[in-house]
Amino acid sequence: MSPKETKAPGAGLDEVFSAGAARTHQGARRPAVASRMAKLTGLAVIAGAVVAAGLFPAAAVGIAATGVIHNEWENQPNSVPAPSLPGRTKLLTVDGKKVAEVFSTNRVPVSADQQGPWIRKAVVAVEDARFYSHSGVDPIGTMRALVATGGGDSVQGGSTITQQYAKNLRLTQAAIEAGGEATAETRDALTERSWKRKVAEAHLATVIEKSTSKEDILTGYLNVGYFGSGAYGIQAAARRYYSTDATKLTLSQAATLAGVLQSPVSLDPRLNPERTLVRRAQVLNAMAAQGMVTAAEAAQAQAEPITLALSLPEQGCQVAGRDWGMVCDGALRELKAADWLGPEATNLLRAGGLTVQLSVDPKTQKDVAAAAKDVIPADNRVANAITLVEPGTGYVKGMASNRAFGEGKGATEIPLAMAKKFSPASTFKLFTLVAALEDGIPLSTTLPGGSEYTSDKFDNPNGGYHNAEGLSASDVSISRATEMSINTAYVQLEERVGIPAVADTAKRLGITSIGKPGTSSYPGKKEGTFALGVRDVSVTDMAGAYAAIAAHGRWCPPTLVKSVTLPNGQVITNPVADRCRQAVDPAVADTAASVLQGVIDNGTGRPAALPGRPAAGKTGTGEDNGSAWFAGFTPQVAAAVWTGDPRSPRYTLHGVMGYETVYGSTLPADLWKAGMLSYLEDKPVRQLPGVDPAYLLAPGRPVDNQVIMIDIRGQSVDDADPTLRSRGLVVEVAADPNAGGAWVRSGTVVAQSPAPGARLAPGSTVKLTVRG
């Protein structure tokens, strides 16, 4: 169901009971007289019913009770909750194959022909023999219950199938609105023994009858009803008790389940087989009495013992298989945080019933999952993780680890590709490189480098700054320092651009673990190791950042979800394109891409080279060899790989898989290369962009006296303002309550002047328009 409601014309008591009378009495009366008599009969019957049930003072029967009930009836809404039942949320691949199912309620709504004939006949026979002749409220059944109750028999229910359906619809609506399970207070209010509830359910039943066919009412009732043992709806019940589909239920099995509906706990065939046997006989006798089966068929079915074939429904990401468990977990986490689903889908996400189409490429996923385990077996103490992201869309095309997602040996419940708990080492140098280009520092700038360096501006680690892998170079250009991953040179470059510029660049390119200035998640003013990747990030965030460089500086949030389909067939597409932004000037991004291509062509990344295909990337080796990374891209896909011991970087990467020491150019590069080749197998070869000449040293060009304007649209003004001021610019902010569209958050920059890429003199004014 959804907050939307199906409107239907109201039903008056005279219509309900005159309809019932018309189907049971021959002859005609004058219309006005018949209508008045029907209304009086209806009011009297309902008043008597609520009194007999102890829901209304006996002394009030008569004109007073009739008037009160009439007023309550007339005040009921003439609408029906739309029947979108909470069921199972399914995660599907792009080619429609099921990855996993998750649910809070074990229900599988099915159509009438998928319910099978026996259960439909059995339920009508035992619960509402006059179902096809009454108009939602059965006056004859109600009066029969009154007579039996008044004669001292046990209290008998006069509720029709439609009334019970109405009751269940109200409960289900409350469950959806509560995100899976209604609160105890709400359930008590909807199930309390009160005359007002009885009137509300009777009225809703008449409204349902006016807008819904009998067959659809019965189908809905069998989908919403509770059959005990956690099974809601006949399909879930058939699977739970008999491990079969509803269409395959035998007469004996269908009669058993039809009988359970009266009291799902006390008649649960698992718990009370003797009582279930008695109730099944009642169902079969009712079917025989109404000509639905012969007496012989009923006797044969009753002679069968209660034989169950119990099964528990499998659900959750741990049953998605080794290859898809982490993808499943990531998609659900993403949807829980999504602001684009709308209220109905958000409720159904928790309650169940959505169909989620994933972005992951099935072939690539299969290949990278196998490659992750081939590179490092699952039982090794060292783990790995890889994420592949499509540039320009943010769609995740593959995500895997050598560890299965779940419990047990060789498994982990930590989503290794999404956990923000691994320092990225020298793959983080990308952000210093971009910050330097944005600052107008030409690639040919010579940096002192060296095997050791002690900074006068930053705090120094013990022994100063050193290079990994024993590399060293002095008086190197920015390009060569990147290719050889010279730490000392990059700290010197960081001194020139400043730590805030590097942090700002990383944030713009999607590194979400960096917080606001002044917080513990923001680097300290003298944290020189920041540019060397000592702060924790996620593999997926790094893949997204490198994908942005491949997309000419356009960053899109990495996403595992392409669309969500509601039970009614409405498709909600993930508006990821609306959240993409030009995070870096295209010329800057393309120049950075060219420099990173040199890493694979001429530097530490040579082992990751893709045969016959240009690629760009960066190696990373963590402090004291606590982790190793490789991140890179072609124009069609980017990927990032982490390798390390999940317990802690204190468990170093020595003596792993035959390597004395694992560097980014070894096992991480192997996995990166396998993932890239799988995805690119059927893709054409595309060239990477070259260096923009503006970022090479040109004689006489005053690069040191200019500021290149960056794109800060889509950022919070709280982040953008200090970034621009740190570059020596003056900031003017204008608020516009209608800027950018309704989905844009307040305080977000939606326009800027000058445009990105403009070259400004220090002290120039930048005008920002924010939504607010």
102-158 pLDDT, tens digit per residue, is 887 788 889 999 999 999 999 999 999 999 998 888 876 655 544 444 444 433 445
From the number of C-beta atoms within 10 Å of its C-beta (0-12, 13-18, 19+), residue 282 rates as middle
What CATH number is associated with residue 181? Answer: 1.10.3810.10
Alpha carbons 726 and 418: distance in angstroms, whole number: 31
- The answer to whether the beta carbons of residues 508 and 555 sit under 8 Å apart is yes
The pair phi, psi for residue 716, each rounded to 5°, is: -70, 140
| DSSP state, residue 102 | E
Alpha carbons 20 and 3: distance in angstroms, whole number: 32
**3-class SS of residue 398:** strand
Q: CA 372: distance to chain centroid? A: 25
Pairing of strands 730-736, 765-771: parallel
Residue type (1 letter), 329: D
**Does residue 527 belong to any structural domain of this protein?**
no
pLDDT of 695: 76
Q: Which parts of the chain register pLDDT below 70?
A: 1-70, 81-86, 140-158, 175-195, 350-351, 469-472, 696-706, 708, 710-711, 742-743, 757
Candidates 390, 415, 411; CA nearest to 402 is: 411
Candidates 370, 387, 409; CA nearest to 326 is: 387
**Residue that is written with structure tokens 């997309």 in the block:** 551
**Residue that is written with structure tokens 């990059």 in the block:** 490
**Does residue 28 belong to any structural domain of this protein?**
yes
Alpha carbons 749 and 448: distance in angstroms, whole number: 39
Structure tokens at 666: 């070894």
Beta-bridge partner residues of 401: 385
pLDDT of 318: 75
**Does residue 392 belong to any structural domain of this protein?**
no
**Does residue 747 belong to any structural domain of this protein?**
yes
Dihedral sign, Cα of residue 198, residue 204, residue 206, residue 209: negative
The pair phi, psi for residue 110, each rounded to 5°, is: -135, 160
Dihedral sign, Cα of residue 503, residue 508, residue 513, residue 516: positive
What CATH number is associated with residue 718? Answer: 3.30.10.20
**3-class SS of residue 444:** coil
Residue type (1 letter), 647: R
Beta-bridge partner residues of 654: 661
Q: What Rg, from alpha-carbon coordinates, does the chain have?
A: 35
Structural domain containing residue 737: 706-771
- The answer to whether the beta carbons of residues 384 and 374 sit under 8 Å apart is no
For the chain, the first-to-last Cα distance in angstroms comes to 35
Candidates 466, 522, 525, 519; CA nearest to 491 is: 466
The pair phi, psi for residue 164, each rounded to 5°, is: -65, -40
Candidates 542, 506, 536; CA nearest to 396 is: 542
Of 268, 303, 338, the last residue of a domain is 303
**Does residue 500 belong to any structural domain of this protein?**
no
Residue type (1 letter), 309: A
**Does residue 438 belong to any structural domain of this protein?**
no
All residues at 6 or more sequence positions from 401 whose CB lies less than 8 Å from its CB, including other chains: 326, 372, 383, 384, 385, 386, 412, 416, 417
Structure tokens at 207: 């409204």
Peptide bond into 754 cis (omega under 30): yes
All residues at 6 or more sequence positions from 40 whose CB lies less than 8 Å from its CB, including other chains: 66
Query: What is the per-residue burial (b if ≥16 Cβ within 10 Å, else e) of 221-256?
Result: bbbbbbbbbebbbbbbbbbbbbebbbbebebbbbbb
Of 288, 303, 318, the last residue of a domain is 303
Number of H helices, E strands in the chain: 25, 29
Pairing of strands 465-466, 452-453: antiparallel
Candidates 196, 96, 211; CA nearest to 165 is: 211
Query: What is the per-residue burial (b if ≥16 Cβ within 10 Å, else e) of 707-725?
Result: bbbbbbbbbbbebbbebbe
Pairing of strands 231-232, 106-107: parallel
> Cβ atoms within 10 A of the Cβ of 9, count?
10
Alpha carbons 3 and 752: distance in angstroms, whole number: 40
Of 303, 325, 358, the last residue of a domain is 303
- The answer to whether the beta carbons of residues 232 and 225 sit under 8 Å apart is yes
> Cβ atoms within 10 A of the Cβ of 69, count?
25
Q: CA 136: distance to chain centroid? A: 39
pLDDT of 502: 97
Candidates 390, 484, 374; CA nearest to 429 is: 484
pLDDT of 41: 53
> Cβ atoms within 10 A of the Cβ of 772, count?
16
Alpha carbons 126 and 137: distance in angstroms, whole number: 16
Residue type (1 letter), 517: P
Number of domains in the chain: 2
All residues at 6 or more sequence positions from 529 whose CB lies less than 8 Å from its CB, including other chains: 461, 465, 623
**Full-model pTM:** 0.71
Q: Can you give 592-623 as a three-state secondary structure string?
A: HHHHHHHHHHHCCCHHHCECCECCEEEEEECH
- The answer to whether the beta carbons of residues 770 and 748 sit under 8 Å apart is yes
**Does residue 685 belong to any structural domain of this protein?**
no
- The answer to whether the beta carbons of residues 212 and 80 sit under 8 Å apart is yes
CA-to-CA separations, 425 to 208, 525, 533, 547, 583, in angstroms, rounded: 64, 19, 4, 18, 22
